[in-house]
Amino acid sequence: MITDDIRNWVHEKLWYQVPISISVIDRNFKVIEANPHFAENYGDWQGRYCYEVYKGLPERCENCAATKTFADGLVREREEYGVVRGGHQTHYLVHMVPLIGEDGKISHIVEMSTDITRVKLLEQEKIEAERLAAVGQTVAGLAHGVKNLLMGIDGGMYMLQSGIDRGDPERLVHGWEMLKEDMARMTSFVKEFLEFAKGRTPEVRLIDPNQIATDVFTLFRDTAALKGITISLKLQEGLACALMDEDEIHTCLANLVSNALDACEVSDKPNRNVVLSTTERDGILVFEVADDGVGIDYDIRKKIFSSFFSTKATGKGTGLGLLTTRKIVQEHGGHVSFDSTEGAGSVFRLEFPRDKLPKPTPAEEDTDS
């Protein structure tokens, strides 16, 4: 009897009491049925298209998952954002289940949406908390880094002053060059720290991953040639555009390529190579920078993402490049990994699951259109 009661409740009342939004759409993408929770969240739905109800759009979504489910009959799960009653933006996780008729054709799709706005806010708060914690940890490192730079400036001032006192033009020139180099390092140091410390929401739009890689390759091609290093580009053809912040991804790749060139420059191998590549596997977009330079030993590998830790020669690195890269990648829902063998080289990977990439705000979408 208890089993019958449960079955009757599921059949007769679950539709009305389940705390998720359920709708049924036809092949014209019109909502033909919805449960009370859906109406409570999205308002009037009768006779309206799903993209109107969910997102307030005048036409079908550019990358419509329902279209794919109508085509292949697969159950899909996707994170989306929409606009609920009152105009507030919401994030939701939607499951799409095809309804297959007796003729074997898909006539409708059931969409079950769970509001995950609070989860997304918590994710952002976690990232922000980690960023602020890292900033706090770097205060001591910042003081140490500035102290080292100031020591270099003191040395340059001494050379300059002694050149003046002795009337020695060579010491004057040498002191002046030391000051210019150290001031340039100080400027770079402060800029990188500010870039790392400031909070910034990625300004995403659809961009071509291969084009970003090509731009970075072009940027470093001449520098690599002057150092006697061969840099090459391997792009997977046909990569779809991705929602990313173009400037920030460019910064990440530039950091990795710059590090790879430095690793090759101090290697005594006759032929030194850096390869920048793009691939996609199982919905994960991957940028990869490989080099056959000096590699990274075990102790350094454990500290490579630490604040102000640099593998470069004293005075040449701020120790913020990889830290900034990891922050940007995490803001895009991805992660950084690397493999390295001392004496053989290193491979750094930036992996971005497409379903985790940030969504553009309505304002950004309007700008792009």
pLDDT at residue 364 tops 60: no
- Pick 98 or 84 by higher pLDDT: 98
Q: Give the chain's radius of gyration (CA, Å).
A: 28
Strands (E), the chain: 21-26, 31-34, 76-83, 89-100, 106-115, 205-207, 229-235, 242-244, 272-281, 284-291, 335-341, 345-353
pLDDT at 240: 94
Using 50, 70 and 90 to split pLDDT, how confident is the model at 362?
Answer: low
Taking only the tens place, the pLDDT of each residue in 102-111 is: 888 999 999 9
State the Cα–Cα distance between residues 367 and 168, nearest whole angstrom: 60
pLDDT at residue 23 tops 80: yes
pLDDT above 70 covers a percentage of the chain that reads: 82
The sheet carrying 335-341 orders its strands as: 229-235, 272-281, 284-291, 345-353, 335-341
Which of 249, 248, 320 has the alpha carbon at shortest distance from 278?
Answer: 249
For the four alpha carbons of 329, 330, 331 and 333, in that order, the dihedral sign comes to positive
pLDDT at residue 2 tops 50: yes
Range from 10-19, 73-82, 157-166, 216-225 carrying the lowest mean pLDDT: 10-19
Strand bridging mode 272-281 / 229-235: parallel
Taking only the tens place, the pLDDT of each residue in 36-48 is: 999 998 989 998 9
335 burial via Cβ count (<10 Å: 0-12, 13-18, 19+): middle
Give the phi and the psi of residue 93 in degrees, each rounded to 5: -105, 120
pLDDT at residue 304 tops 60: yes
Q: Which helix (H) or strand (E) holds 11?
A: helix 2-12
Give the phi and the psi of residue 70 in degrees, each rounded to 5: -60, -30
- Pick 230 or 151 by higher pLDDT: 230
Using 50, 70 and 90 to split pLDDT, how confident is the model at 342?
Answer: confident
Using 50, 70 and 90 to split pLDDT, how confident is the model at 171?
Answer: confident
Q: Is 145 helix (H, G, I), strand (E, B) or coil?
A: helix
Using 50, 70 and 90 to split pLDDT, how confident is the model at 347?
Answer: very high
- Average pLDDT value for residue range 243-259: 90
In order of start, what are the domains of the chain with their CATH numbers?
Answer: 2-115 (3.30.450.20), 117-199 (1.10.287), 201-369 (3.30.565.10)
pLDDT at residue 233 tops 60: yes
Question: Do 358 and 202 touch, CB atoms closer than 8 A?
Answer: yes
Strand-pair partners of 172: none
Range from 37-41, 63-67, 151-155 carrying the lowest mean pLDDT: 151-155
What tokens appear for 55 in the block?
Answer: 């997102």
The pTM is what?
Answer: 0.53
pLDDT at residue 191 tops 80: no
- Pick 317 or 107 by higher pLDDT: 107
Amino acid at 13: K
Average pLDDT, the chain: 83
Amino acid at 152: G
pLDDT at 177: 87
Residue with tokens 């060139």: 261
Length of the chain (residues):
369
Question: Do 171 and 156 touch, CB atoms closer than 8 A?
Answer: no
What tokens appear for 126 in the block?
Answer: 């976690």
pLDDT at 313: 46
pLDDT at residue 282 tops 70: yes
Using 50, 70 and 90 to split pLDDT, how confident is the model at 136?
Answer: low
Using 50, 70 and 90 to split pLDDT, how confident is the model at 197?
Answer: low
State the Cα–Cα distance between residues 327 and 345, nearest whole angstrom: 24
pLDDT at 294: 86
pLDDT above 90 covers a percentage of the chain that reads: 36
Count other C-beta atoms under 10 Å from residue 151's C-beta: 11
- Average pLDDT value for residue range 157-177: 88
pLDDT at 325: 85
Question: Do 254 and 274 touch, CB atoms closer than 8 A?
Answer: no
pLDDT at residue 311 tops 60: no
**278-301 b/e (C-beta count within 10 Å ≥ 16 → b):** bbbeeeebbbbbbbbbbbbeeeeb
Checking 126-134 for CB contacts under 8 A at 24+ apart, the result is 127/330, 127/331, 128/199, 131/199, 131/327, 134/196, 134/307, 134/323, 134/327
Taking only the tens place, the pLDDT of each residue in 253-266 is: 998 998 899 889 88
State the Cα–Cα distance between residues 292 and 312, nearest whole angstrom: 16
- Average pLDDT value for residue range 51-73: 89
- Pick 364 or 49 by higher pLDDT: 49
Using 50, 70 and 90 to split pLDDT, how confident is the model at 331?
Answer: confident
Question: Do 278 and 213 touch, CB atoms closer than 8 A?
Answer: yes
What tokens appear for 186 in the block?
Answer: 């100080």
Strand-pair partners of 26: 108
